[in-house]
Structure 1
Amino acid sequence: MPKVFYLLPLMAVCLISSASELPVIRIGCQMVTDTPKYQNFISDSLKDIEEQLKGKYRVEIENLTSNQLRKKIESHEIDYFISDSMFYLGVSASSGPNSASRLAVLWHPRAVNPTESEGGTIISLKSEENKTLLQLEGQTLAAKSERDYVSYGALRREIFELHKNPKHFFDSVSFLGSYDDVIDSVISGKSDLGIIPTCYIEEHNLDPRMKEIKPQAVKNQKALSCFSSTRLYLGLVFAASYDADPYLNRLILAELLDTPAHDGFVWTVGGDISQGHELFKALNEEQYEKLSRSALMRHLEEKSPYILAALGALILFFIHWFSVNRLVEKRTRQLIKAQKETDKIKEQFAAMQRVGVIGLMSSTLSHELKQPISVIGNYLQGMRLLRKSGRMTDKALDESIENIGAQIERANSIIKKVRSYAGKKSSERKPTDLKEIIERSISDLLKTRTKRTEISFKPCRETVIVDADETELHLAVHNIIKNAVEACEEQPSPLVGVSLSIENGKAVFAVTDNGPILAPEAIENIKKPLWTSKKNGMGLGIPIVSRIAEAHRGSLTFDTDDKGSLVVTLRLPLTKESKNA
């Protein structure tokens, strides 16, 4: 057997031994996101590094949680690591002089620059209305992890900037371990809100769950073409431990910069990390209360001139307020005393007015009771004539008795009204059909007039309901029509026109006649109490009607039409029943 065959096993052993003796480069990858585009680009970058260092170094790559990666860095078991900028800052801050070095920064394809690539987006159900961050206070929140600085940490800084304590801002915060679980918690209703990385919605647009959620408290920013609820921070960092070989750092950086773009992701250098420092400062969890106090003191020092000026103004204000308050109290006591005296005078005046009204209404008893008494007399006379002629029937008797009873009731209601004034009783108002009152008044007048007068009534189509005392309203309507009838009864063909309409939410009852034309002076005199143009008139009808109109929040007016005839118009407000009819 040739000697070469004996050498082959020895050569294999040597090769294996040589490979195992290569220096080891340990790279730790923080499990930041499950976005395939991120993962694919980072995987390609690590493969390129392995290929570049092949034969010179043995590259070991580990995917670690934030806590695992931190422990390995602290125990010097990691040479290089890929993490979010907040994790990198935390490691650097805790390492003191032996801090890690930032070699490269990942440039997000949606970002204008790598400095503003990462942040947090608050999500809610799509059915919720858009709200500001302050309006979200008191709701429940789901987050991936308490150490998720890029999204949850960035949100806590925004809350801190509102001068709120992040620990107590939300009703509760649940840490679920993954962004998928955060989204599911919001969709299922277990949490009101969730916090996920900026651009997560846009990069998972094929996920049907994205159609069920929406961003909340969105900031107006142009540096990143994604919805964000927080400030934006530096993207992923490729960092070297403090004792990494500078020559090897150079090789790895060159390889990272040469890595072809994948879905727009590229490695670059530089980037401002100052926003990260501000975030880290605000997120020193053990110092929340201390930070609040120090921030307050800092603001007090900066604003001390303005605060002193404000305090001075406040003192002057209180002095002025105290003086004014004393003056107001003094004036109030005087006004209360004056008001009591005024009320007393008003009460005395009202009593005097009631006496005057009672006197006026008492005077009208002969004026108004004349009408029902005349009707009763007419019916009695008719009954006598029918009895003498032998034509009295049961039907005629019943009809006469019924009409006499109605007139007695009307007279009784007038007397009761006078007594109600004397007893300080208010009118019993209720929804009343004005059309029915007008028709009843016309019927009564036609039954009592010896001279036949044509009364033309043009009602409106709508139902006209007013809030009125039925007796008072009937008294007013009856007086207006009766005056018109009496004004034209000497004419060859006496005619009275009555109309009812609705204008601007009010009932309009108008009466005109073809009687003599009145001079303007006579029209003005109509409004005066005790003035009358009739031989046996008392001049009380129109004042009574006017008082009734005012008491019902209405008005009584006197005008002339195109022919010069007098037009008397009573306007009364409609009730809701009439408006909705």
Structure 2
Amino acid sequence: MKPFILISLIAVELLCAPVAFAEVKAHPPLVFVINSAVNPLLNQAFVNETIETIRRNVYPRRLEVKYAELLEIEEMMEKKTADFYLATSSTVRRFQDIGLRDMVTASSPFSKDPNKSEGSLIIVNADRKDLNTIDDLKGKKAAAGRVTAFGMYLAAMGEVAKAGYNPQQFFSGTSFYGLDRDKIIEDVLTGKADVGILRICYLEDAVNRKVVDPTRLKFINLQPEDEHICLHSTAL
């Protein structure tokens, strides 16, 4: 079985034993797959340094770098077709049962505890006086990022489940926009969606980019700000 390792948002020095050049030529290149969602989350220089660190430490074996969407990465993980991955820590957890293991995890500067830095923020239009709790969202239209992404969707559905509802039957419909997360905010403000689900800290990023005035939004199931400086509606 081909070994494979998942790297959770990291820059890591890999310690590799020397490999004879003749042996290297007999082996295909090592494959490093990077989640396309990483680029908006991390500084590109950080990603490039990670790539070069791995390339330097696997030399003289060649390193082939690929960018892929989450669904494609999940398929590659199941089929064990790559050697290294750069993805979120939640992906590590979901695939540990088939042999994936994390090497090093980068902690968020916005969280006091690196084990509690992922979650979701549930938003509605500030004018919606009828939407104040998770109960009020039942049967409404939602907008989110990716159906398999922890912060973009699954964490919020966890809160729905904790409230006693079946997450698969909770919303009347959900539009998924992938990495076009500004569209989630737009749908909430224009009324195309009643509720939006954002990955933690994305609101603050949108405010900094002047995409939205936060006073135009209301936040559902808001949690205390004792562990994370970004607003969040879910357990971390």
If the length of structure 1 is used for normalisation, what is the TM-score? 0.34
Q: CA deviation at 1:181?
A: 2.5
Taking a change above 3 Å as real, the CA distance of residues 213 and 69 of structure 1, as seen in their structure-2 partners, is same
Letter in 2 for 1:44: E
Percent of aligned pairs with the same amino acid: 22
Within 1, Cα distance between the matches of 2:194 and 2:145?
A: 15
The one-letter code matched in structure 1 to 2:231 is: F
Query: Is 1:168–2:173 an aligned residue pair?
Result: no
How do residues 146-225 of structure 1 correspond to structure 2 at under 5 angstroms?
146-178=147-179, 179-211=181-213, 212-225=216-229
Match of 2:35 in 1: 30
CA deviations over 1:456-504 (Å, ceiling 9, x no partner): xxxxxxxxxxxxxxxxxxxxxxxxxxxxxxxxxxxxxxxxxxxxxxxxx
Match of 1:59 in 2: 63
Task: Report what 1:47 is aligned to.
Answer: 52
Query: 1:31: Cα distance to partner?
Result: 2.7
What is the CA-CA distance between 1:173 and the residue it aligns to? 1.6
Amino acid paired to 1:187: L
> C-alpha separation between the residues in 2 aligned to 1:216 and 1:84?
25
Number of equivalenced pairs: 210
Q: Deviations over 1:370-389 (max 9, x none)?
A: xxxxxxxxxxxxxxxxxxxx
Give the corresponding residue for 2:11. none
Q: For each residue in 1:237-273, what CA deviation from the matched residue of structure 2 results, as whole angstroms up to 9, or x when unmatched? A: xxxxxxxxxxxxxxxxxxxxxxxxxxxxxxxxxxxxx
**Amino acid corresponding to residue 70 of structure 1 in structure 2:** E
* Residue in structure 2 matched with residue 231 of structure 1 by the alignment: 235
Does the 8 Å CA contact 2:34/2:86 hold for their aligned counterparts?
yes
Confirm or deny: 8 A CA contact 2:151 2:198 kept in the other structure. no
1:89 alignment counterpart = 93
Other structure's SS at 2:106 match: strand
Question: Which runs of structure 2 are paired with 1:506-525 in the superposition (5 Å)?
Answer: none
Equivalent position SS for 2:184: helix
Shift of 1:40: 4.2
Query: Are the equivalent residues in 2 in contact too, given 1:27–1:78 (CA < 8 A)?
Result: yes
Kindly state the Cα deviation for residue 36 of structure 1 after the two structures are TM-superposed: 5.3
Cα offsets for 1:155-196 (capped at 9, x unmatched): 111111111111222232222333232222223221011111
Which amino acid in 2 is paired with 1:148? Answer: A
Q: Which residue is 1:111 aligned to? A: 111
Classify 1:54/1:33 alpha carbon distance in 2 versus 1 (closer, same or farther; 3 Å): closer
* Contact 2:145–2:178 (Cα < 8 Å) also in 1: yes
> Within 5 Å, which residues of 2 pair with 1:272-421?
none
In 2, Cα distance between equivalents of 1:103 and 1:123: 34
Shift of 1:88: 1.9
Deviation at 1:28, TM superposition (A): 1.1
| Distance apart, 1:103 and its partner CA | 0.6
Q: Which amino acid aligns with 1:77?
A: T
- Cα deviation 1:514-545 (Å, max 9, x = unaligned): xxxxxxxxxxxxxxxxxxxxxxxxxxxxxxxx
Q: Name the structure, 1 or 2, with higher relative contact order (CA <8 Å, separation 6+).
A: 2
Q: Distance in 2 between matches of 1:207 and 1:23?
A: 43
Q: In terms of mean alpha carbon deviation, does 176-185 or 109-118 score higher?
A: 176-185
Instruction: Please say if 1:127 is aligned against 2:132.
Output: no
CA distance in structure 1 between the aligned counterparts of 2:107 and 2:226, rounded to whole angstroms: 16
Change (3 A) 1:86 1:43: same
Matched-pair contact (CA < 8 Å) for 1:216–1:229? yes
**8 A contact 2:119–2:151 mirrored in 1:** yes
Query: 1: CA distance between counterparts of 2:231 and 2:38?
Result: 17
Cα separation, 1, equivalents of 2:186 and 2:195:
11
Contact 1:32 1:84 in 2 (8 A): no
Change (3 A) 1:38 1:195: farther
Would the aligned equivalents of 1:121 and 1:229 in 2 still touch at CA under 8 Å? Answer: yes
Change (3 A) 1:25 1:34: closer
Deviation at 1:133, TM superposition (A): 2.0
Supply the distance in 1 between the matched residues of 2:123 and 2:49 (Cα, whole angstroms): 31
SS at match of 1:177: coil
Report the secondary structure of 2:211's partner residue. Answer: helix
Encode CA deviations 1:178-222: one digit per residue, 9 max, x unaligned.
323222222322101111100111233332222144433211241
Distance 2:39 2:210 in 1: 16
Give 1:47 deviation, angstroms.
2.7
Unaligned segments of structure 2, at least 5 residues: 1-20
Change (3 A) 1:165 1:55: closer
1:274 matched residue in structure 2: none
Residue 109 of structure 1: how far off its partner (Å): 0.4
Does the Cα contact within 8 Å between 2:39 and 2:47 map onto a contact in 1?
no
Say which structure is richer in helix.
Answer: 1
User: Residues 142 and 175 of structure 1 are in contact (CA less than 8 Å); yes or no, is this contact kept in structure 2?
Assistant: yes
Letter in 2 for 1:202: E
* 1:53 aligned counterpart, secondary structure: helix
Q: How far apart, in 1, do the equivalents of 2:190 and 2:197 lie? A: 15
For 2:161 and 2:45, the matched residues in 1 are separated by 36
> Structure 2: which amino acid aligns with 1:29?
I
CA distance in 2, matches of 1:39, 1:119: 23
Structure 1 pair 37/176, CA: closer, same or farther in 2 (3 Å)? closer
Pair 1:68-2:72 in alignment: yes
Contact residue 108 and residue 117 of structure 2 kept, 8 A: yes
Conserved 8 A contact 1:23-1:56: no
Distance 1:168 1:177 in 2: 21
Aligned to 1:114, the other structure's residue is in SS state coil
Query: 1:67: Cα distance to partner?
Result: 1.6
Q: Deviation at 1:81?
A: 0.8
What value does the CA root-mean-square deviation take over the aligned residues?
2.5
